[in-house]
Amino acid sequence: DQQVKQNSPSLSVQEGRISILNCDYTNSMFDYFLWYKKYPAEGPTFLISISSIKDKNEDGRFTVFLNKSAKHLSLHIVPSQPGDSAVYFCAASARGGSNYKLTFGKGTLLTVNP
């Protein structure tokens, strides 16, 4: 049973436009959420995170929104750049003893076209 779902395997946007990547989760114990970016043959690179006590966190061009009632989060990239083309993973961790275990979605391949 997938506890973290990224329902769009791929997304294509034009350079300069907004990229919106979505993620849904089912486990109500999750209280910390992270987005990672991954290029082929490299490890995931941390982008941005959000705690369940917040509904928005912003870092430069990246903003993560959390809707706890809908168990949904999204990553907005504005403006999108060709270098943003990569696979984006949503990940979640739960409070308590599993605080240091991440559950990942299957990723969304973002392609930003020049």
Binding-site ranges for another protein (CB under 8 A):
31-32, 34, 36, 41-46, 49, 51, 89, 91, 93, 95, 97-107
Q: How many CB atoms neighbour CB 83 within 10 A?
A: 9
Cβ closest to another protein, residue 17 vs residue 54: 54
In whole angstroms, the minimum distance from the beta carbon of 112 to another protein comes to 22
Whole-angstrom distance, CA of residue 53 vs CA of residue 83: 31
Answer yes or no: are the C-beta atoms of 35 and 75 closer than 8 Å: yes
In whole angstroms, the minimum distance from the beta carbon of 44 to another protein comes to 5
Cβ closest to another protein, residue 37 vs residue 80: 37
Answer yes or no: are the C-beta atoms of 110 and 19 closer than 8 Å: yes
